[in-house]
Each structure stands twice: as C-alpha cells, then as structure tokens.
Amino acid sequence: MRLENKVAIITGAASGIGKAAADLFVAEGARVVYSDIYDAPNDLTIDAEKAIYVKCDVSKRAEVAALIQKTLEKFSALDIMVNNAGVGTVGSILEASDEVWDKTIGVNLSGTFYGVQLAAQVMKEKGIKGSIINLSSILGTVGLPGTVAYCASKGGIVQLTHAAALDLAAHGIRINAIAPGFIMTNMTKGMLNNDSFSKLVKGNTPLGYVGVPDDIAYAALYLASDESKYVTGTILHVDGGWTAR
C-alpha cells in the first residue's frame, strides 16, 4: 500500500484522469475525497469508510475552501492535493472571446492557484509534509493552433508550480505538475475520434498511440507517494515522447 493512511483530495474526479487517479489512490490505501463540479455520478461506487464525494466549482475560492474543510471534518488531515479539474477550450488569438478566456483561466489556472494555496496553508498549519500535484499539459510547453487560452492556462500552471515549490520547500511541502499528452477522456474523445486529428496526434507522438487515464494516474501515484520525497518543482511529461521531438 503506497499511500496507506494518507488523505487525498482529487478534483475533476467524476471521470477520466481524475477518477482513474482517485480509484488508484483508494486501492493503494488512501482515504480520498472525489470532487467535481457535477453532482455525484450515478455509476460512482465508493466505500464510505475510504472515500466521499464533494461537489465543487474550483473557479470559486469559497467552494475550494469548503471542499478542504469538509475533508478535514471527515478525515482530520490533508496529505495530498491533486488539482486536476480543468476545461478544454478552442479559439485562436484572433478569435478567442473574453468569455472563453475568462472561463479557461478561471477554472484551469485560478482553480489550481486556489487549490495550491488553500491546501498548502492547511499543511503548513498542521505540520504535514504533504504533496501537491497539478495537472498541466504538453500544451503548457508547446503550442497548438487554435488553443490560445488553454495553452496560456496550462503554461501558467507550469510556472505556478515552479514558484510555489520554492515557497513551500522550507515547510517540507512538495509540489509538482504532470504534463499529459493527448489522453482519451470524455474531454478529448470528440477530437480524437476525428480521423484527421487522431492521425495528427499519433503522427506527433513517437510511441504512436493515444494514452489512457491510467497512464496519468500512475504518474500521480508516484508523485503522491514517499517514493518521490526528493522531487519538487518538476514537470513530469507523460506524453508518449511528444515534447522530446
């Protein structure tokens, strides 16, 4: 059990990468708070002794604070914070509207900021040498036409992670980010089921195929566990080699 007796919050955990990570963390001994902007999915089965579900819109500071408070009320600790919730949006620099920009930055970047800051404050106050994991993207490192707001938000997460790691190291709190390549989830399946886009993705991925949520969940497990106790401020690319080109 790599996460025995640890308490974790995972946002965006109703499906996809977040759910895969939450399920894996429970299997590895953690007590987990599944959180998402939606009501609990009907097909979500969790053991009440090991996990709870809390609805939360991460773009609102007060809701993130309430999420953390409910976690403390249930489990009395917070060892791991996974800021996974995000939205995928499209629009070039010539076309992106203020609405698209504000929503993308609000959920992806501001939501991550709230999760990092509020979780770190609790960890510091309780003397917990915790692990905070942010979900960036390969598009936080390289560009893709027609995704200006998304790229900006994910690039912001990279630098937020670097700066926060320096701020938190003195308190023994580690913070890292995962930068996935294209992963088959509800968010991406529409694009990836398009033959021409799928061909583009596979052609730019040296391993030649699209990843699955478990590929990211296992990276999160490593960063959440004591196996990565000397790792902070790093961006772990799990992208089939995309950014190695």
Catalytic residue among 114, 150, 222, 230: 150
Question: What are the φ and ψ backbone dihedral angles of 207, each rounded to 5 degrees?
Answer: -75, -15
Sign of CA dihedral 59, 37, 146, 116: positive
Cβ(239)–Cβ(221) under 8 Å? no
150 part of the active site: yes
If phi over 0 gives left and psi between -120 and 50 gives alpha, with beta otherwise, what is residue 97?
beta
Q: How far apart are CA 68 and CA 52, in angstroms?
A: 12
Question: What are the φ and ψ backbone dihedral angles of 80, each rounded to 5 degrees?
Answer: -140, 130
Helix (H) or strand (E) holding 202: helix 195-203
Nearest to 101 by CA among 113, 115, 91: 91
Cβ(14)–Cβ(36) under 8 Å? yes
CA dihedral 60, 66, 70, 71 (to 10 degrees): 50
Helix (H) or strand (E) holding 151: helix 148-168
Query: Which residue's entry shows tokens 């401020």?
Result: 233
Cα 193 to the chain's mean position, in Å? 23
The secondary structure of 88-105 as a DSSP string is ---B-TTT--HHHHHHHI
Which are the catalytic amino acids? 150
